[in-house]
Amino acid sequence: MTKSISYSDAGVDIDAATRATDRIKELASRTFNERTLSEIGSFGGMFDGAFPGLAQPVLVASADGVGTKLKIAFATGVHNTVGRDLVNHCVDDILVQGARPLFFLDYIATGKLSPDVVASIIEGVTNGCRENGCVLLGGETAEMPGFYQDGEYDIAGFIVGVVDRAKIIDGKKIAPGDVLLALPSAGLHTNGYSLARKLFFEVAGYEPQTQLPELGMTAGEALLLPHVSYLKPLDGLLDKGVIKGLAHITGGGLTDNIPRILPESTAVRIERGSWPIPPLFELLRKLGNVSDAEMYRTFNMGVGMVIVCAASDVEMIEGHLGECYRIGDVVTGNREVLI
């Protein structure tokens, strides 16, 4: 062979990666604060680890993705929202233990790197970070030809937050007689998309641009509704000691996520009709004749976060939050959800 083979001949465009990194640096710098000690492009991100305002700081970390919601981004060409979904999902995951976010790392993998698409994804990530007071400290963009189909990618997020040990929310004090309050979701958030896509695009034969009168939007718009961060509404309550437990309603729905925070010998009883179920879920149920058990285990059913508190604190919490719903109570049982 006389021709010299390069990395680009194998499908990896280093120049495109450099252009993408330059745009990421610009976007990420908008999230930096006085505790950020490194620039994007360093081998590792550095963050000031001093917490003089906390007696016993505890770091809380989590990692997640947005699942097959990405398929909707591919189909619609809308790439600047899934990054925000990713950040908000991770923020909510550490929020349930009372932690406020410090910094975030992202991972993007694709078959053929498009600087414009990567920039759109990172635009969403930086928007989410700024809204949550979180630094985008670093990440990785991997071009992997032959591994992903053209136009497709995967993203993952990694978050670190902090909480004072005395203010950790762990559910240990939850007891029969406590009350469940629900904060509304904005749609599917980032779970249940494999079933939702099957129902919309295979069973009903919708296209992403199909107008759905009962929802007042297209099928694509309905499935791209944002994953809500509950940090701001809950922030003023985290230090008051009135929240006994928090459950982020993700994969597994109400039935599988609430038991994760329950002590032994307790269960919860949820009252049907105690909160408004958005029309999106009713449409999904109707399209597939989906059973109640399947709906409540696959989807969030309009509830993004559940608060467990003493009955004596309900009125104060409701006054702080504004929009929330009393959906049930803690009872004696074996860490299960009775609907």
pLDDT digits (tens, 9 = 90+) for 122-132: 999 999 999 99
pLDDT digits (tens, 9 = 90+) for 81-120: 999 999 999 999 999 999 999 999 999 999 998 999 999 9
pTM of the model: 0.94
pLDDT at 21: 75
| 125 within domain boundaries | yes
| 235 within domain boundaries | yes
- The whole domain housing 203 covers 179-338
Residues 76 and 55 in one domain: yes
pLDDT at 11: 59
Radius of gyration of the chain (CA): 22
Residues 126 and 241 in one domain: no
What is the CATH classification number for the domain harbouring 97?
3.30.1330.10
Of residues 10 and 303, more confidently modeled: 303
Residues 126 and 254 in one domain: no
Which letter, b or e, does each residue of 124-154 get, where b requires 16 or more Cβ atoms within 10 Å of its Cβ? bbbbbbbbbebbbbbbebebeeeebeeeebb
**Integer angstrom CA distances of residue 123 from 197, 258, 321:** 25, 33, 29
| 59 within domain boundaries | yes
The angle, 0 to 180 degrees and rounded to 10, between the axes of the packed helices 115-131 and 14-28 is 20
Averaged pLDDT for residues 20-47: 89
pLDDT band at 23 (very low <50, low <70, confident <90, very high): confident
Residues 213 and 144 in one domain: no
pLDDT at 1 over 80: no
Of 3-12, 147-156, 225-234, the range with the lowest mean pLDDT is 3-12
Residues 134 and 196 in one domain: no
Q: How many distinct structural domains can be found in the chain? A: 2
Distance CA 326, CA 339 (A): 14
pLDDT band at 259 (very low <50, low <70, confident <90, very high): very high
pLDDT at 97: 98
Averaged pLDDT for residues 124-143: 96
| 92 within domain boundaries | yes
Residues 122 and 205 in one domain: no
Write down how long the chain is: 339
Residues 289 and 141 in one domain: no
| 1 within domain boundaries | no
Percent of the chain with pLDDT over 70: 94
Among residues 167, 188, 220, the one where a domain terminates is: 167
**Integer angstrom CA distances of residue 121 from 58, 78, 80, 87:** 30, 9, 5, 11
pLDDT band at 41 (very low <50, low <70, confident <90, very high): confident
pLDDT at 14 over 80: no
Averaged pLDDT for residues 45-66: 96
Helix (H, G, I), strand (E, B) or coil at 231: helix
Residues 153 and 195 in one domain: no
pLDDT at 2 over 80: no
Averaged pLDDT for residues 182-206: 97
Q: What does 27-83 look like in DSSP terms, one character per residue?
A: HHGGG--TTB-S-TTSSS--B----TT-SSEEEEEEEEE-TTHHHHHHHHT--SSHH
pLDDT at 4 over 80: no
Residues 145 and 189 in one domain: no
Residues 39 and 139 in one domain: yes
Residues 163 and 119 in one domain: yes
pLDDT at 15: 61
Average pLDDT, the chain: 94
Among residues 122, 138, 167, the one where a domain terminates is: 167
pLDDT at 12: 56
pLDDT at 22: 80
Residues 65 and 157 in one domain: yes
Q: Nearest-CA neighbor of 70 among 42, 26, 110?
A: 110
pLDDT band at 42 (very low <50, low <70, confident <90, very high): confident
Q: Nearest-CA neighbor of 237 among 304, 309, 130?
A: 309
